[in-house]
Structure 1
Amino acid sequence: MKRRQPLEEVTATPWPVALLCGAAGGVLALLAFPPYDLWMLMPVALALLSIGVLTRSFLPALLSSLAWGLAFFVPLTEWANTYAGTMPWLALGVVQSLYIVLYGLLARTVMVRRGLGAGSLVVVSALWVAVETLRSHVPWGGLPWGATGFALADSPLLNLGPWIGMAGMALVVAALGQLLVHGVLCVLGRRRRGLGGLAGVWPLAMAVAAVLATMVVPHPVNRAPDDRPSMTVAGAQGSMDPIDPGSMAMPEGVFENHLEVTHDVTAATQEQGRQLELIVWPEDSTAYDPRLDPYRGEALTDAAQQAGAPILVGTQTPVGEEHRYNHSVLWTADGETPYVYAKRHPVPFGEFVPARDFFRMITDKVDLVGRDMLPGTEVGVMDLQELGLGEGRVGVLICFEIAYDTLTIDTVREGAELVVVQSNNALFGDSHEAVQQLAEAKVLAVVTGRSVVHVSTVGHSAIFGPEGRRLDFVDHWEQGAVIAEVPLRTGITPAVAGGIWIAIGISAVGLLGWLGALTGPRRGVLRHVPAVAGRGEGSSRARAGVQDGRSSR
């Protein structure tokens, strides 16, 4: 007869402590992101979330998870208050927090039933990836703002990005958090293992060693195109007065400001004997569609002639009375527009309002979005050689699209040798949205192995090389230009090759592990009474306090 292994005992977290862990964990997660950049707090934040859900019943675990989500997402997305107002901003924070509740309850099931072994560590970490992937795509295309990998812009863990992608980095951070959980609970005597509190040293040491090991992870070999390793690119940040939050109308002079910067950077490069190959203007930088405005069209033609390079501008194009496109238009020295990209992923409630009539009954703020943006259907890659405008294949993304790794990856798969991102961060005032988006650009530059030219109306604007090195920068609300010999690359990183299947595979591990924990034999148990006495003392009371299936025989 096969002998049954004893259940692993873990002391339940009292509900006041659980709520405190949840709220504190959310705050630490916030501090891991720009502008604070304390990335090392992200595993600690996830560890506190796990400790917070190890409660006697589901309700405190639910509340602890909700506290974590609110403490993180509400301040992280404060930029939405500038654009949409207080109620939509808070609603966004609450909706995002519900995903953390889902994760917390799933993770609790695994940790309670399986115990805190290696198997539960893998499953719980994979569940974090599964829920983050769901949040990034559902509903209405999702919102990956606050995805774990974006906290790692200045972390050695980013070296893993081109190998395992955003999902893989999230898995590693979650696993580090679980190692902290295992170690801390052993040290505190809440987890019964051999060697007493000394057993907790090993998980903590492993977590530190894992981070140190990533410092020497090389970037995948990623070759440059033959005979043209770089392209001279300039990005114009014209800046402007702050946008009126009441009307959200673009201030006067935005077109003229970007035109002035273009003339300045053209003169500067010509004095240096350098030839520009592409000039990038931000999203919404023309104020009106220059294809429909002779004054703007002629001014752009003159600027392109003086620079001897095409200008990629951003503009809104009305469609009928209720819709519009967010367009990126390539303007040549001949006054032609041989390439147009339409933003493929409009942001729900920011650029279009789903179920408008329903949400209008909740708030009239939906009418701030007067025209719903239509999604484009083609991946943004313009081949300058094919267009007769030089050499290089340039990927194009607009604003929040840089936050979606799937959009960046398919742009690279379509042949982009570098990626430009056009953004209008003026919509978010002095909030932290601009610096958070810039971190996303750096992270995805490393993940995809492509240079990223990120240009905003008011900043931050920057150029990052394929390994994440910053080549040029213009600060928030400053007028100026970023310019560099931007490295071109043609190789495909493992993260790009794996694409969304990395996230799907990890998520499948998490969900199958959760089902196994739910339906399989119990291997762990929560004790109701904290271990404050000696190791052998009170064992009968502990066994009497087992939650959910006390004897499991």
Structure 2
Amino acid sequence: MSARTRAGAGRAHGVAMPSRRRDEFDPTPWPVALLCGTAGGFAALASFPPYGQWMLLPVSLALLTAALLTRSTWVALLGSLAWGAAFFIPLTAWANIYAGTMPWIALGLFEALYILLFGLLARTVLHRRGLCPSTAVVISALWVGVETLRSHAPWGGLPWGSTAFALAESPLLNLGPWIGMAGLAFVVAFLGQMLLYGVLSLLGRRRRGLTGFAGVWALALAVAAILATMVVPHPVNRAPADRPSLTVAGIQGSMDPIDPVTMAMPDDVFPHHLDVTRSTIEDAAADGQDLDLIVWPEDSTGYDPRQDPWMAQQISDAAADANAPVLIGTQSAVGETQRLNESVLYAADGSTPYTYAKRHPVPFGEFVPMRDVFRAVTDKVDLITRDMIPGEEVGVMDMDAIGEGDAKVGVLICFEVAYDNLVDDVVEDGAELIVVQSNNALFGDSHEAIQQLAEAKVMAVVSGRSVVHVSTVGHSAIFTPEGRQLAYVDHWDQGAVLADVPLRTGITPAVAGGPWIAVGISALGVLGLLGALGTRHRALAPPTRGRARPRPRNSPTKSPEK
């Protein structure tokens, strides 16, 4: 006798029969839910550099959703927190080098709270709407909303570990210039939901919709979607007819490791970059190449050359020898307690016709918000003796205005390359290529440098601009707007990335959409959540916790005599 027949017979005799019609899926037992959360976080970690197993990212999000399919809200939240901790704590291990163990763990757990927020919202939708395509859309949109919030709040946010940055070697990146960072996050999250639905169907844990072997369709859809992205064309992106490229040399001088106690730049940083610059100029001349721009990394002088005539003269001499300006990275004091992180362009005559100040200092890395409060947690905040203040102007260097050709070069410093709004700003202000100056020596042998390089490649494709990423100690590389690598110098090596870098003037749909792509997708998630809250249907009944089931009103208190 089927469950439905037994339930009907029971009702006919006035006897309460257990029914699971309201349950659209079998709940995940709590040990399995916690295991899914933890395993999902580690799978997400493996999808990022240096591991690069991007295909595990949809799997990790499927495991996160599986951890939410439990009757207990607390178990679902613990599973979400386990996912976040397993992902963010090892991902940000580089913070331990300069901040110490406790601040590093605190950073990882703080980022994990955003996953807990996502888990709470997604579980609400799952338990009220059930497992269906519209639920998958809403949950994917909520993932975008929470990731957008994490990337911009508080104190400017931290987009490290954003979904799209795992896709540097994935065919999914071909969608980047069309749908942007938020669109890529939505696609990956939706693929994760499809994988989960397919697996649950094959395992017999779904009770409505696609069940049994019909769940193969969901898995096939996910695989087919990934394969289809391999042939997605890049948007038409115009190159200036009279100057299709700019010959750029990025100098990686390397240096001795930074003392983690004093955090002072080694004395050899300036001479190393000067030596590599001179040898690069000689090599370019021998090959018949005319340099248009030489780029040094962030903090590559160790001291502000505008305060040292000898250093300034050395840089100007190099510019004269190359017949090309040199863009260096340095810092300048502002008053007694503040500073600016700056890019300064040196011309052959010793003048500095262009200066850019970093617009987005990193909280706790370059400035300490609420210093007195956080000093009670750790005295490491006092390692930052001067808080970095943000610059006010978008970094676009007009080479024509300074008498060095007519190209427009966008300038970003270090972590700024991870913020899509800052990249969009320089493109919308006319940048035809982007240079990124970074000082990864602060993070030693950690994975921070290779993770940031992946961010540079992703942003090159999304923005439709070549990116020249130059670091003091590596990794340094040049990427075309299609993501092709033109030059590369490995970590801790001395050398230069030199290439005729393609220029572009067109605007990709991702840049044209700007923040509205993320806003629109996030709004879809919020509307879906509100719709779920307004329904009385539940896909999974709450736990009874052993309470006696209410007796039907007309049921007998004892069995009738035969």
TM-score range, shorter chain: over 0.9
- The match for 2:158 is 143
SS where residue 131 of structure 2 aligns?
coil
What is the one-letter code of the residue matched to 2:237? N
Deviation at 1:467, TM superposition (A): 0.3
| Alpha-carbon distance in 2 for matches of 1:389, 1:211 | 44
| Alpha-carbon distance in 2 for matches of 1:528, 1:161 | 43
- The match for 1:268 is 283
- The match for 2:416 is 401
Deviation at 1:527, TM superposition (A): 7.9
**Alignment match of 1:54 (pick from 58, 64, 69):** 69
What is the one-letter code of the residue matched to 1:21? C
For this pair of structures, how many residues does the alignment match? Answer: 527
| TM alignment of 1:107-506, pairs within 5 A | 107-193=122-208, 196-506=211-521
| Alpha-carbon distance in 2 for matches of 1:358, 1:448 | 39
- The match for 2:25 is 10
Deviation at 1:194, TM superposition (A): 5.9
Identity over aligned pairs, percent:
70
What is the one-letter code of the residue matched to 1:497? A
| TM alignment of 1:61-72, pairs within 5 A | 61-72=76-87
| Alpha-carbon distance in 2 for matches of 1:245, 1:523 | 54
What is the one-letter code of the residue matched to 2:201? C
* Residue segments in structure 1 that go unaligned for 5+ positions in a row: 1-5, 530-540, 546-553
Bigger mean CA offset, 346-355 vs 81-90: 81-90
SS where residue 25 of structure 2 aligns?
strand
Deviation at 1:63, TM superposition (A): 0.4
| Alpha-carbon distance in 2 for matches of 1:314, 1:393 | 19
What is the one-letter code of the residue matched to 2:490? D
Cα displacement string for residues 113-135 of structure 1 (whole angstroms, at most 9, x for unaligned residues): 00011110100000000000000
SS where residue 375 of structure 1 aligns?
coil
| Alpha-carbon distance in 2 for matches of 1:87, 1:115 | 40
What is the one-letter code of the residue matched to 2:66? I
What is the one-letter code of the residue matched to 2:100? G
| Alpha-carbon distance in 2 for matches of 1:470, 1:460 | 13
**Paired residues of 1:12 and 1:526 also in contact (CA < 8 A):** no
What is the one-letter code of the residue matched to 2:531? G
What is the one-letter code of the residue matched to 1:258? H
1:511 lines up with 2:562 in the alignment: no
**Alignment match of 1:521 (pick from 499, 524, 536):** 536
- The match for 1:93 is 108
SS where residue 397 of structure 2 aligns?
strand
**Paired residues of 1:11 and 1:528 also in contact (CA < 8 A):** no
Q: 1:247 to 1:527 in 2, by over 3 A?
A: same
Cα displacement string for residues 487-513 of structure 1 (whole angstroms, at most 9, x for unaligned residues): 000000000000111000000000111
Bigger mean CA offset, 56-65 vs 187-196: 187-196
SS where residue 221 of structure 1 aligns?
coil
- The match for 1:3 is none
| Alpha-carbon distance in 1 for matches of 2:324, 2:48 | 37
**Paired residues of 1:459 and 1:475 also in contact (CA < 8 A):** yes
**Paired residues of 2:201 and 2:210 also in contact (CA < 8 A):** no
What is the one-letter code of the residue matched to 1:285? S
**Paired residues of 2:27 and 2:540 also in contact (CA < 8 A):** no
| Alpha-carbon distance in 1 for matches of 2:87, 2:145 | 19
What is the one-letter code of the residue matched to 1:432? H
TM-score, normalised by the number of residues in structure 2? 0.92
What is the one-letter code of the residue matched to 2:499? A
SS where residue 524 of structure 1 aligns?
coil
Cα displacement string for residues 507-540 of structure 1 (whole angstroms, at most 9, x for unaligned residues): 00001111110122315225869xxxxxxxxxxx
**Paired residues of 2:325 and 2:348 also in contact (CA < 8 A):** yes
Point out the structure with max Rg over C-alpha. 2
| Alpha-carbon distance in 2 for matches of 1:196, 1:349 | 50
| Alpha-carbon distance in 2 for matches of 1:195, 1:422 | 51
